[in-house]
Structure 1
Amino acid sequence: MTPEILARITAARAARDLSDLARQAVGTTAETTSTAERIETARRLRHMANQIVDLVVLAEALAGAEWSEITEALGRIEPGTVKAEYADAVAEWSSLTEAEATESAADIEDMDAWYARHREDHDPDLEKPVANLLNRY
C-alpha cells in the first residue's frame, strides 16, 4: 500500500467521523443545551471538515498532482506557499514503509460496512468503496 492510498483511506475515515458527528448534531437539535455546547459542536464539525481538506490535499500531492492545480482547487493564489504549508506532511507520509501504511489501514472493511449501513439511494452503489482503493494501482 502506498502513502497516497493510506492518505485517501484516512480522508475516508475522517469523512465517516464527520458524518457521524453531523448526524448526532441533527439528533440533538431539540435538546436543551447551552449556547457554548452548540457552538463547540459546530466548531468541531468545522475543524473536522478542515482536516478532511488537508488529507485530500495530502493524497493529491502524494499522487503527484501539480501544486498549481492544488492551489487553484483550494482557491488560493501562490503555489509555493501552499506547497510549503504541506511540505512536512508530504515528507512524513512519503517516508512511511509499506508495512506501516498497511497497518494503519487495517479498518478498511469496517469503513465499507459503515458505508453499507448508512448508504442512501442517491449515494454511489458500491459494495467496497474504500477497499476498492487497493485495486486501483
Structure 2
Amino acid sequence: MTSENLARLAAARAHRDLSDLARQGVGDISSVTGACERIEAARRLRVMVNELLDLVVLGEALGGEPWEEITRALRRRDAETVRVEYAEAVNQWKAAPATALYGAKGDAEDLDAWYRRHREDADPLAANPVSDLLQTD
C-alpha cells in the first residue's frame, strides 16, 4: 500500500465519521438539547470537514497531482503557498512506517460494509470501494 492509498483510507474513515455525526444531528433536531449543545455539534462537524479536506488534499498530493491543480480545486491563488502549507504533512505521510499499514485490510472491509449498509440509489454503485483501493498496488 502506498502513502497515497493510506491517506485515501484515512479520508474514507473521515467521510464515514462525518456522515455518522451529521446523521445524529438530524435525529437530535427536535430534542430538548440546548442551543450550546447544538452549536457545539455543528462546530465539531466543521472541524471534521476541515480535517477531511486536508486528508483528501494529502491523498491527491501523494498521488502526484500538481499543486496548481490542487490550488485551483481549493479555490486558492498561490500554488507555492498551498504546497508549503501541506509540505510537512506530505513528508510525514511519505515517511510513514510499514506498521502504519497494520489493520488496513480490516479497516477497508469495515468501511465497505458500512458503505453497503448506508448506500442509497444516487450513490456510486460500488460493492467494495475501499478494499478496491488496496488492490491498486
TM-score, length-normalised on structure 1? 0.95
Partner in structure 2 of residue 47 of structure 1: 47
Spell out, residue by residue over 1:51-98, the C-alpha distance to the aligned partner (whole angstroms, 9 max, x if none): 11100000000011111110110000111110111011000000123x
Spell out, residue by residue over 1:84-130, the C-alpha distance to the aligned partner (whole angstroms, 9 max, x if none): 11011000000123x22421524111100101111111111211010
Spell out, residue by residue over 1:20-76, the C-alpha distance to the aligned partner (whole angstroms, 9 max, x if none): 000000000100111111110000111111111100000000011111110110000
Q: Say which SS state the counterpart of residue 29 (structure 1) adopts.
A: coil
Equivalences, count = 136
CA–CA separation in structure 2 for the residues paired with 1:85 and 1:36: 33
Map 1:15-30 → 2, pairs under 5 A: 15-30=15-30
Aligned partner of 2:116: which letter? Answer: A
Runs of 5+ in structure 1 lacking a partner?
none
8 A Cα contact 1:14 1:52, kept in partner: yes
Do residues 96 (structure 1) and 105 (structure 2) align?
no
CA–CA separation in structure 1 for the residues paired with 2:91 and 2:40: 32
Runs of 5+ in structure 2 lacking a partner?
none
TM-score, length-normalised on structure 2? 0.95
Map 1:2-17 → 2, pairs under 5 A: 2-17=2-17
Partner in structure 2 of residue 114 of structure 1: 114
8 A Cα contact 1:11 1:52, kept in partner: yes
